[in-house]
Amino acid sequence: MKNKEVLLERMERYALTTFGKRVDDLNNNEKYVVLAKALMEEIVPQWLKSQEKFAGKKQAYYLSAEFLMGRALTNNLINMQRKKEVEELLAELGVDYNQIEDAEEDAALGNGGLGRLAACFLDSAATLDYPLHGYGIRYQYGIFKQKFIDGFQVEEGDNWLEYGEPWSIRKGLESVIVSFADGDVKAVPYDTPVIGYGQKTINTLRLWQAEAVKEFDFQAFNEQEYDLAVKAKNDAENISKVLYPNDSTDEGKLLRLKQQYFFVSASLQDLVRKHKAKYNTLENFHKLHAIQLNDTHPAVAIPEMMRILTKVEGLEWSKAWEIVVNTFAYTNHTLLAEALEQWSIKLYKKLLPEIYTIIEKIDGQLKKELLAKGVEAKELDKYAIIHNGNIKMAWLSIYGTKSTNGVAQLHTNLLINQELNHWYKIYPERFNNKTNGITQRRWLLQSNPELSNFITELLGSDAWITNLTELKKLEKFADDQSVLQRFMEIKKMKKEQLAAYIKRVEGIDIDTNSIFDIQIKRLHEYKRQLLKAFYILDLYYRLKENPDLDIIPRTFIFGAKAAPGYFRAKGIIKFINEIAKLVNNDKEISGKIKVVFVQNYRVSYAEKLFPAADVSEQISTAGKEASGTGNMKFMLNGAPTIGTYDGANVEIVEEAGEENNFIFGLRVEDIAALKDYNPKEEYKKIKGLQRVVDSLVDGTFDDGKTGMFKELHDALLIGASWHKPDHYYVIKDFESYREAQQRVNDAYKDRLGWARKCWINLANSGKFSSDRTIDQYAKEIWEIEKA
């Protein structure tokens, strides 16, 4: 085939010019690099055509601190519809495609759902032919590479750029200068193509790398001040070194603030420069640009845009403000008070004094506007952007944009009716819901090709790849035993693949006939990995007391990273690993339960975990999980949810039926009505719970004299830091969770009945495509059109 010959010729050329070897002599990492470079020769001309077809049209831009893209090779080949051809070419060369795929490091540009959502959105927009481009930071070491030593999380730098990054192009001539009070930094853009399925549209992810304006002080070096000679270089590069540096000190907070302003200022300067070059005016800027703030990390974009428009470009304030409000939109991702970002005035004045002055003016303008709308002077503090020594970034984001959206219907309702109700009363027209979604190209087509092929076979078409609502047609097979049997065979195959991978990388054997009960997400108290841990320990104790307990063998799998400075979350990881050590080494329980905490959970690991799951754990405290997207990935791969009535779980149950899932626990209204709750009394009343909770402090487990376990125990029973006791209702929901887990056990015994639940979930997952979400953003917020 001609395409193969051309691709091979390019690979040989890049092998020689990049590594000075023939393709046959390259190792897998090198083969991956030359393959990617060869493919880029095909991608770049199409990329340029996409830029040309959208020229002069309104385009959207997604500002996000995270873009958790995952590996690019397979995703790009699938969207280019070239994967089979490349696999065949490599096979002819005697090369295993899977080894080349594994040679690619995950791009370490995100941590959790926030960054993965951004990645799904970029994929969907390109597939749907919408012009949506991403702006963020090119972190050299990403979040971190996680490993466990004696059960403790240990962080290492994740040098994902070690072997080069062949998918991005450095655009040094488009660098901009970002100014801080302590000096200037150069922002250098690296552009990565985002390829839509079918390759009609290729959009751009532009990531900024921080570099020194003057990298080397020759005079200092000549005077033998060697550290001083490279100080500017090191200080600048620290900005794009690590995602979310530990901010437990002011130095850490200043670095985070630098990161936020760095990528926002660079991105806005970039957009303004390009716009001016074409139109020589900024008065129509908002008519051609829609900018989405992914949470409050990029909220400083509002005063920065005002700075550029008024101080640099000379527009008068009111005109500039009109442009700003009509350009920006804000996505709220949380109801957690502690996660509604605030910045100290002191830090802003120290690092960004000019921006702080502009925020003061915006705050003053807001207060005048509120008084004009009839808000009483005594009520102004509720809206104040600057208050009690802090700048409220969520308030700035609501006031400075035309749209504030929640990410699941329950979340948006809570924003409107509770958390942001005072703002909703002032600007009801700005509030809307955009339930999150996931791209089926990565989370089904790529990660579960066996199930994908079966779906296409049953439907007689692959239209579901770009229209996930087609899956609804699968419902007619819900009682077809041969279909359900084949589905369960595919599930078993995915479980075997995961088990082989876990054996290889973790050294742990797991029983593929057991129920794979999986909870994979960021480690946070409200996500309640601790609740699952308590259940496992309780089940273990019950098995010890009654070895004949009627349970189906269960493999409990966790995957999560805790933020480096989050002591309590790291304590939960250590506790789960202590439970795993106890359970997995006890021969008396005959392997009926096993606990596995996979190390360094990331997108490529997730692609193996989601298809293999029998049970999806979505057990956050009701009202705390804005949406979740892991729940959707499990559903898409045919796993019922055991979960609270929270986030997108509510809509999952609406689509697939509560009878096909396992809902438990307090609901939002129950929590609101809860009075005089005393967890210290409560946990004594629930059979078996006291010994489980007290195992944290009674010597059952060892926390290495860190005090982690006592701190966890205190947080539950007496409160800790600003938390009230059992702040996330782990104890209160325990009995209900245990009952739901018993229902899972009982339902699983009926294999066809279980398969039917799985199938109904799969067939009703169409709503949760990010294609649907992006279509809503494009039409209802950004007002952009397809090419």
- Number of Cβ within 10 Å of residue 585's Cβ equals 7
SS3 content of the chain, % helix, strand, coil (to 5): 55, 15, 30
Domain presence at residue 33: no
CB 612 within 8 A of CB 497: yes
Average pLDDT over the chain reads: 96
Backbone phi, psi, residue 518, to 5°: -120, 130
Domain presence at residue 322: no
246 dihedral zone (left: phi>0; alpha: psi -120 to 50; beta): beta
Q: Which of 533, 524, 715, 519 is nearest to 606 (CA)?
A: 519
Rounded CA-CA distance 709/730 in Å is 15
For the question of residue 633 being annotated catalytic, the response is: yes
Q: Could you say which of 522, 608, 757, 767 is catalytic?
A: 522
Rounded CA-CA distance 309/322 in Å is 11
- Res. 336: pLDDT tops 90: no
Q: How many CA atoms lie within 13 A of 200 on its CB side?
A: 14
Report CA-CA distances (Å) from 387 to 384, 395, 401: 6, 11, 20
Domain presence at residue 150: no
Domain presence at residue 286: no
Tokens of 306: 């005002």
Residue with tokens 């092929």: 453
Spell out the residues 6+ positions from residue 378 whose beta carbon is closer than 8 angstroms to its own: none
- Res. 1: pLDDT tops 50: no
Q: What is the pLDDT of residue 234?
A: 85
> What is the sign, positive or negative, of the torsion defined by CA atoms of 572, 575, 579, 581?
positive
For the question of residue 333 being annotated catalytic, the response is: yes
**Long-range contacts of residues 267-271, Cβ cutoff 8 Å, at least 24 apart:** 267/61, 267/63, 267/135, 267/206, 267/208, 267/301, 268/301, 268/304, 268/305, 268/308, 269/176, 269/178, 269/308, 270/135, 270/174, 270/176, 270/189, 270/206, 271/61
Rounded CA-CA distance 517/533 in Å is 12
Domain presence at residue 388: no
Q: Could you say which of 629, 641, 644, 773 is catalytic?
A: 629
- Average pLDDT of the residues in 18-32: 95
For the question of residue 17 being annotated catalytic, the response is: no
Q: Could you say which of 411, 527, 574, 732 is catalytic?
A: 527
Domain presence at residue 181: no
Give pTM, 2 decimals: 0.97
The residue ranges of DSSP E strands in 484-586, in sequence order, are 515-520, 554-559
Rounded CA-CA distance 427/404 in Å is 10
Tokens of 67: 């873009």
- Res. 224: pLDDT tops 90: no
DSSP string computed for 236-287: HHGGGTSSS---SSHHHHHHHHHHHHHHHHHHHHHHHHHHHHHHS-STTHHH
Q: What is the pLDDT of residue 215?
A: 82
For the question of residue 297 being annotated catalytic, the response is: no
- Average pLDDT of the residues in 740-750: 98
- Res. 105: pLDDT tops 70: yes
Q: Which of 525, 577, 509, 515 is nearest to 552 (CA)?
A: 515
Q: Could you say which of 116, 133, 258, 333 is catalytic?
A: 333
pLDDT range class, residue 2, cuts 50, 70, 90:
low
Q: Could you say which of 116, 570, 608, 633 is catalytic?
A: 633
Model confidence over 303-313: pLDDT tens digits?
999 999 999 99
Q: What is the pLDDT of residue 496?
A: 98
Q: Please, is 506 exposed, middle or buried when counting C-beta atoms within 10 Å of its C-beta (0-12, 13-18, 19+)?
A: middle
DSSP string computed for 369-434: HHHHTT--GGGGGGT-SEETTEEEHHHHHHHTSS-EEESSHHHHHHIIIIITHHHHHH-GGGEEE-
Model confidence over 229-255: pLDDT tens digits?
678 888 889 999 999 988 889 999 999
Q: Which domain holds residue 753?
A: 442-677+729-774
Q: Could you say which of 430, 521, 713, 732 is catalytic?
A: 521
For the question of residue 430 being annotated catalytic, the response is: no
Domain presence at residue 693: no
CB 64 within 8 A of CB 114: yes
Amino acid at 315: L
- Number of Cβ within 10 Å of residue 779's Cβ equals 12
For the question of residue 527 being annotated catalytic, the response is: yes
DSSP string computed for 123-142: HHHHHHT--EEEEEE--SS-
Q: Which of 105, 128, 117, 130 is nearest to 67 (CA)?
A: 117
Model confidence over 524-535: pLDDT tens digits?
999 999 999 999
Q: What is the pLDDT of residue 339?
A: 67
Q: Which of 115, 140, 125, 117 is nearest to 190 (CA)?
A: 140
Lowest average pLDDT, out of 107-111, 134-138, 349-353, 354-358, goes to 107-111
- Average pLDDT of the residues in 592-602: 97
The residue ranges of DSSP E strands in 699-765, in sequence order, are none
- Average pLDDT of the residues in 21-45: 96
Secondary structure letter of residue 586 according to DSSP: -
| Domain count along the chain | 1
pLDDT range class, residue 195, cuts 50, 70, 90:
very high
Spell out the residues 6+ positions from residue 173 whose beta carbon is closer than 8 angstroms to its own: none
Tokens of 735: 């009995």
Rounded CA-CA distance 524/526 in Å is 6
Backbone phi, psi, residue 688, to 5°: 85, -10
Rounded CA-CA distance 521/629 in Å is 10
Domain presence at residue 662: yes
Q: How many CA atoms lie within 13 A of 342 on its CB side?
A: 15
- Res. 536: pLDDT tops 80: yes
- Res. 413: pLDDT tops 70: yes
Q: What is the pLDDT of residue 26?
A: 95
CATH code assigned at 585: 3.40.50.2000
- Average pLDDT of the residues in 117-144: 97
